[in-house]
Amino acid sequence: MQAAFFYDTVAYSYPTFDLHMDCYICTLGESEEPIADPEIHSELRWLAQNKLLDVQWLPADIELIKQLGTFWNDIFASQHL
């Protein structure tokens, strides 16, 4: 996996900790398979733009996901990747 470009920073305060997470748009090589670290992620799946809000996201992720849905075509345009 290779980071194509920096997308956004998520800052969110949970009751027991403050999260500061840099988010990147990434690409996979032709024969690469994505790998989810089970200590970090419970699930890994590809979602179409119209399915982004069908997932129960954690509170810190919601605004980022809404932005991805809104700016999908600009973010994933071939000139960026």
Residue 49 to residue 78: CA distance in whole angstroms:
16
Give the residue extent of every domain in the chain: 2-30+44-75
Chunked mean pLDDT (size 10), the chain, 81 residues: 90 97 90 86 87 93 93 80 60
Instruction: Provide the 8-state DSSP code for 59.
Output: G
Residue 76 to residue 81: CA distance in whole angstroms:
7
Q: What are phi and psi of 49, to 5 degrees?
A: -55, -45
pLDDT of residue 59: 94
The reported pTM is 0.76
Would the CA dihedral through 32, 48, 21, 77 be positive or negative? positive
